[in-house]
C-alpha cells in the first residue's frame, strides 16, 4: 500500500511495528481520484508555515482535487486518535521555562523545558549528561522536537455551562529533540 504523506506524524505506538497508517479501501464521498494516482509523497511541510511549499512534489492533477479527498489524505485524519501518537513539532515561542510548540494541529502545545538534556529513544550521541545551561542552548525558537500527543484541544464541560470551556491549547509530552542526523538527511 502506498505510504501516505508523512509530514510530521510518525505513527508509532509503544511496541507496535512501525508501519504506515494503512487506510482501508474507503468509498470517498465525491469523485475522488483513485489511490493509485498520487504517488507516495513526503510532504516536507514545516510546522507553522501554512504556505504550499510542497508544490513541486504534487501531481499536476492536484488542481482539481476536492476538499474531501484532500482531507482524507491529510496527516491529521490518517493519524487517527491523537492519544499517544508521536509527532515532530517546532518551537515558535519561549517564555522562560515554557516552550510553545507547534506540531501542525489547530493549536500549539506548551511544554516545560526539560531540566537536563533528555535521552532520545534511539539513544543517539546526544545523551551525555550536561549542565542546565546547555538545554537553554538546545531548546531555542525553531528547534524541532519530538512530542507524544495526548489531546489536540483541551476542552471540558463544566457544571451549568452550555458549551465546553476550551483552553486553546493542545496537550503533549515533550520527549526530546528530533534526531538531528535524520533531519539532516531529510533536507
Partner 1 sequence: MAVPRLLRAAAPRLYSTVLVPAPATAPAPVATQPSAADDKLLSEPLSHPDFFNVKELFTLKDLFDARVHLGHKKGCRHRFMEPYIFGCRLDQDIIDLEQTMQHLQLALNFTAHIAYRKGIILFISRKRQFCHLVECTARACGEYAHTRYWQGGLLTNAHIQFGAGVRLPDLIVFLSSLNNVFQTHVAVRDAAKMNIPTVGVVDTNCNPSLITYPIPGNDDSPSAVELYCKLFRMTIIRAKDKRRQSEAIEELRRKAEGN
Q: Which residues bind partner 1 (CB under 8 A)?
A: 45, 48-52, 62-63, 65-68, 70-71, 74, 76-77, 80-82, 92, 102, 104-107, 152-153, 155, 157, 163-166, 168
Rounded distance between C-alpha atoms, residue 136 and residue 180, angstroms = 17
Mark 77-115 as b/e (b = at least 16 C-beta within 10 Å).
Answer: ebbeebeebbbbbbbeebeeeebbbbbbbebbbbbebbe
Nearer to partner 1, 117 or 147 (CB): 147
Tell me the closest approach of the beta carbon of residue 29 to partner 1, in angstroms.
9
The pair phi, psi for residue 64, each rounded to 5°, is: -110, 20
Nearer to partner 1, 82 or 117 (CB): 82
Tell me the closest approach of the beta carbon of residue 51 to partner 1, in angstroms.
7
Nearer to partner 1, 168 or 173 (CB): 168
- Set of cell numbers at residue 119: 535521552
Tell me the closest approach of the beta carbon of residue 26 to partner 1, in angstroms.
13
Tell me the closest approach of the beta carbon of residue 182 to partner 1, in angstroms.
24
Amino acid at each position: 500500500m502506498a505510504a501516505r504523506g508523512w509530514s510530521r506524524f510518525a505513527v508509532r505506538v509503544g511496541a507496535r511495528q512501525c508501519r504506515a497508517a494503512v487506510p482501508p479501501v474507503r468509498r470517498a464521498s465525491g469523485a475522488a481520484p483513485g489511490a493509485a494516482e498520487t504517488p507516495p509523497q513526503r510532504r516536507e511541510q514545516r510546522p507553522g508555515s501554512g504556505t504550499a511549499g510542497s508544490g513541486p512534489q504534487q501531481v499536476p492533477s492536484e488542481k482539481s482535487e476536492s476538499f474531501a479527498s484532500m482531507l482524507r489524505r491529510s496527516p491529521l485524519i490518517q493519524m487517527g486518535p491523537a492519544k499517544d501518537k508521536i509527532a515532530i513539532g517546532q518551537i515558535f515561542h519561549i517564555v522562560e521555562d515554557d516552550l510553545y510548540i507547534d506540531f501542525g494541529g489547530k493549536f500549539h502545545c506548551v511544554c516545560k523545558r526539560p531540566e537536563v538534556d533528555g535521552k532520545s529513544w534511539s539513544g543517539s550521541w546526544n545523551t551525555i549528561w550536561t549542565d542546565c545551561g546547555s538545554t537553554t542552548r538546545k531548546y531555542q525558537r525553531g528547534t524541532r522536537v519530538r512530542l507524544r500527543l495526548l489531546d489536540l484541544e483541551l476542552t471540558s464541560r463544566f457544571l451549568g455551562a452550555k458549551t465546553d470551556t476550551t483552553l486553546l491549547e493542545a496537550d503533549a509530552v515533550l520527549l526530546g529533540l528530533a534526531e538531528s542526523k535524520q533531519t539532516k538527511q531529510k533536507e
